[in-house]
Structure 1
Amino acid sequence: MIASTIPTQNGLSFQAFRSTSISRCGSRLNPLIRATSASTQTLTTESSRKHLSNLDKLLHQQAPSLPQQDSTPLQNDSFNGSSPEKRVNHLFQGLNLSRIWPEMKAAEEISPRHLNRLQRLLSKSHEYSPRNNLGSRWREYHGSNDWVGLIDPLDENLRREVVRFGEFIQAAYHAFHSNPATSDEVPPSPHHVAVPDRSYKVTKDLYATSSIGLPSWVDDLAPNLGWMTQRSSWIGYVAVCDDKSEISRMGRRDIVISLRGTATCLEWAENMRDVLVRVPGKENSGRNQPVKVECGFQSLYKTPGSNMPSLAESVMEEVRRLMNLYKGETLSITVTGHSLGAALALLIADELSTCEPDMPPIAVFSFGGPRVGNRTFGDQVTKNGVKVLRIVNSQDVITRVPGMFVSEELDQKLRDNSKVAGVLNVLDNMPWAYSHVGAELRVDSKMSPYLKPDADVGCCHDLEAYLHLVDGFMGTNSPFRANAKRSLARLVNEQKSNVKKLYISKAKDLNIEKQAVAIPSCLPSPS
């Protein structure tokens, strides 16, 4: 029962997941269903054309037209001695498109040029443009001015930075699923992390430990999944930029702390401990309420393991070491995380900001993060100079928990009303008076032309879906970016039931699904 409800990379909160019913509905626009009447056929054709027109707009960049092909059937030796481009042309020539779209003439609606574009978008590679030099503006992109003027509309350089830090988190998920077990009897061995940016090198493994335990009968029910109930689990890593050309491009040497989301039973159990608890030694930051954070997050952050220090101790020790190693250089610290990792990233950044007298600039890039503490905690983070950019999907319920189910916009409007301000001050003292902190980059899964408008909660919280939405985001009330180039292969592979059927069908026809590299899965996904 436990394993059947626990996601891996989605990192969902137990509280939100148990209060949200996941419903799945098939797409109403399915050009692959044969029409049974003239009116139905017309509707289906129009739906298909709408999909294809949308795809054409999304991939509007001009590509060289492919040469005319004769009607000779594709021969087995047609690939011999031919270039990769010619092989692609032969592949498209051999596709029986009239079978795929029986309601229309495929040759008129889908040209080889369009198929070539779709194949590139569904391929495994990401065809991003070269990185721009950020040397003179790196502090701005790191949040020195709270990203004012860069979020809406979204600045191209900031888009690249956000996606890049999201891929650091994906590397943490890969490393954990490749080796999830941790022994309480012997020190853990180093994890292999395939950092997406080769200019960075991993310097430290990070572990989070729960302060609670599960009954012994849980181990009896799942003897082969003992790692699920372990108290300490690998949760991320510290990496530092070690490439001179990249340091020059970025304008500083960057230290990255990357954290995955919820994966084990005890991490789920900690997510349920959603009562605010006081943080020892923290001042009130000018408010009547003390600094408080979620009990479960604080537990995972501060609890040491039997053979390892706490997450807090590990991070502080490693950052101090790196600061001393690169003393005299221009440094920055970037903490990035998804879901539970986003919550822990905020706790790490807050403590880092005061651990040494002269700390480098600290920025947090969080994806699908829940609320972490009360309003006093948020004031303290801001006062200490930590810059926070929260990437939020409007359809992601995890970003609205724990605490009262109220949007930040409505909460601020209520506080601006003097008639209810006194009541809200009273509510701030309640055990679930949570508040977000930092700037917000808000995307919406309904804006994607590829995802179904009724995508389920697992898809709306999925990290790859987040990166897909950021890559296509231009601004509020703007359409999906026409020149978005992030590969759809992983999205199709991980969220197949939430992707529109037309694109799933084309992925199958182009044999993309077999090419996609899936993240190793140790636990079933709710999607």
Structure 2
Amino acid sequence: MPEARSSLANMWREIQGSNDWKDLVNPLNALLREEVVRYGEFVTACYKAFDLDPSSKRYLNCKFGKKSMLTEVGMEGCGYEITKYIYATPDINIPTQSGTSRSRWIGFVAVSTDNEVRRLGRRDVLVSFRGTVTNTEWIANFMSSLMPARLDPHDPRLDVKVESGFLSLYTSDDSTCKFSQGSCREQLLSEVTRIIKKYKDEEVSITMAGHSMGSSLAILFGYDLAELGLNRLGWSREIPVTVYSFGGPRVGNSGFKERCEELKVKVLRVVNVNDPVTKLPGVFLNESSRIIGGKYEMPWSCLCYVHVGVELALDFFRVQNPACVHDLEAYIGLLRCPKIARVQKDGKVLLSKARKVLHTQKFDGWIWQDAARQVGCLVQSLGF
């Protein structure tokens, strides 16, 4: 798609959500589709590089070194260089999977190369997160109580509340981790701040991409960066902060959503309407239960979970195939085929064609997909 590539440098701000993707989502703009797929592939790389072999010395860490990782997973020449690996610690006091450290490799920070800068129209700082794999991460996902984020010590904003499990994963520390120091939050803030300072004289964007639980961490980090003002250079320059969320759950309440919007944190939610994870948490207390009659806000509205951002909705498969409804490869595989992976409209998409496409695609049968089957059991128990 040479025409789309040649125009990216000219309209990258719109593609990154400067106008909330107005007129780009429905119908899905070809250039935006290409960028969504591109960022999704970086998240896919996290899954491919995650070591799930219990006999390996790198078990539950990345299989490869930073310099070779993208090449090893088939992304050589992608135009980015990894600068740091990121680890997260579920603060769960139960017996964990084998190994002494509770920290798990969760993703990476990367920066676009000089050649890629010319194509993109700016220096892109990318943070990519995988989704849920380990037992403790699954438990963290279901710690669905809301609590104040309190990420800015000078302005705690008690009305801004997020899911306690995601917040714990983002802020907890593990002193026994031999690969990195500090919480997921501390690692990210330190590295991204360093990169911003390094390229302060260039046009820069900050992009987060994540699947499932990883999309929650991406949104939390985007909010954190903007709340602390770390994306602002002086009084006049503000670095755009964009999140590409794939199959992401709700993260916080309406106060969190409103604050993200005030801070101009742009979130594009790529959602399979049959994916149960996108309906959690807040199965009963969510956007639809906050307002009655279109204008009356209920007393419990502060306890309701609310999605952040603009939704790009797809419709493929049903709960009878739970391993696929939440599968990132299925998301990306359909988006690569614009005539079939269309934006969901009026609840109708040609499912038979979607199934046909997936039969012709070769998707990797990673172990993490077993977790998706657990999602299917959850859905059936909730009656979706």
Q: Summarize deviations over 1:161-210 as a string: whole Å, max 9, x none.
A: 001111000001111136787899xxx99455226352101001000012
Residues 388 and 130 from structure 1, CA distance in 2 versus in 1: closer, same or farther, beyond 3 angstroms? Answer: closer
Letter of the 2:69 counterpart: V
Query: SS of the residue aligned with 2:206?
Result: strand
- Calculate the aligned-residue CA RMSD, in Å: 3.3
Instruction: Please tell me whether residue 316 in structure 1 is matched to residue 189 in structure 2.
Output: yes
1:58 aligns to what? Answer: none
Query: SS of the residue aligned with 1:201?
Result: strand
Residues 214 and 183 from structure 1, CA distance in 2 versus in 1: closer, same or farther, beyond 3 angstroms? Answer: farther
Letter of the 1:297 counterpart: F
Q: Structure 2 residue aligned with 1:168, among 24, 42, 50?
A: 42
Letter of the 2:333 counterpart: H
Task: State the TM-score, normalizing by the size of structure 1.
Answer: 0.60
Query: SS of the residue aligned with 1:352?
Result: helix
Q: Structure 1 residue aligned with 2:265, among 363, 369, 386?
A: 386
2:212 aligns to what? Answer: 339
Residues 522 and 153 from structure 1, CA distance in 2 versus in 1: closer, same or farther, beyond 3 angstroms? Answer: closer
**TM-superposed deviation, 1:383:** 0.7
Instruction: Please tell me whether residue 441 in structure 1 is matched to residue 312 in structure 2.
Output: yes
Q: Check whether the contact 1:177–1:522 (CA below 8 A) recurs between aligned residues.
A: no
Q: Distance in 1 between matches of 2:185 and 2:142?
A: 21
1:399 aligns to what? Answer: 278
Task: State the TM-score, normalizing by the size of structure 2.
Answer: 0.80
1:59 aligns to what? Answer: none
1:486-525, aligned counterparts within 5 Å? 518=364, 520-521=366-367, 524-525=370-371
**TM-superposed deviation, 1:269:** 1.6
Residues 457 and 321 from structure 1, CA distance in 2 versus in 1: closer, same or farther, beyond 3 angstroms? Answer: same
Residues 460 and 523 from structure 1, CA distance in 2 versus in 1: closer, same or farther, beyond 3 angstroms? Answer: closer
Q: Summarize deviations over 1:437-479 as a string: whole Å, max 9, x none.
A: 1111011005xxxxxx564222111101111232333344476
Q: Summarize deviations over 1:281-324 as a string: whole Å, max 9, x none.
A: 65587xxx611111110011001221421111111111111112
1:94-173, aligned counterparts within 5 Å? 131-173=5-47
1:60 aligns to what? Answer: none
Instruction: Please tell me whether residue 364 in structure 1 is matched to residue 243 in structure 2.
Output: yes
Letter of the 1:381 counterpart: C
Q: Check whether the contact 2:327–2:372 (CA below 8 A) recurs between aligned residues.
A: no
Q: Summarize deviations over 1:89-146 as a string: whole Å, max 9, x none.
A: xxxxxxxxxxxxxxxxxxxxxxxxxxxxxxxxxxxxxx99873331221100000000
- Richer in strand (by share): 2
Q: Check whether the contact 2:9–2:120 (CA below 8 A) recurs between aligned residues.
A: yes
1:200 aligns to what? Answer: 80
Q: Check whether the contact 1:172–1:235 (CA below 8 A) recurs between aligned residues.
A: yes
Q: Check whether the contact 2:111–2:123 (CA below 8 A) recurs between aligned residues.
A: yes
**TM-superposed deviation, 1:394:** 0.6
**TM-superposed deviation, 1:416:** 5.7
Higher relative contact order (CA 8 A, sep 6+): 1
Instruction: Please tell me whether residue 417 in structure 1 is matched to residue 333 in structure 2.
Output: no
Letter of the 1:214 counterpart: I
Q: Distance in 2 between matches of 1:128 and 1:518?
A: 28
Instruction: Point out where structure 1 has 5 or more consecutive residues left out of the alignment.
Output: 1-126, 219-224, 447-452, 489-498
Q: Distance in 2 between matches of 1:391 and 1:366?
A: 6
Q: Distance in 1 between matches of 2:39 and 2:91?
A: 29
1:328 aligns to what? Answer: 201
2:138 aligns to what? Answer: 268
How many residues matched?
A: 347
Instruction: Point out where structure 2 has 5 or more consecutive residues left out of the alignment.
Output: 374-384
Larger Rg computed on CA atoms: 1
**TM-superposed deviation, 1:237:** 0.2
Query: SS of the residue aligned with 2:305?
Result: coil
Q: Distance in 2 between matches of 1:398 and 1:253?
A: 33
Q: Distance in 2 between matches of 1:140 and 1:455?
A: 38
1:8 aligns to what? Answer: none
Q: Check whether the contact 2:132–2:213 (CA below 8 A) recurs between aligned residues.
A: yes
Q: Check whether the contact 2:46–2:128 (CA below 8 A) recurs between aligned residues.
A: yes
Q: Check whether the contact 1:278–1:293 (CA below 8 A) recurs between aligned residues.
A: yes
Q: Check whether the contact 1:259–1:337 (CA below 8 A) recurs between aligned residues.
A: yes
Q: Distance in 2 between matches of 1:156 and 1:130?
A: 7
1:233 aligns to what? Answer: 104
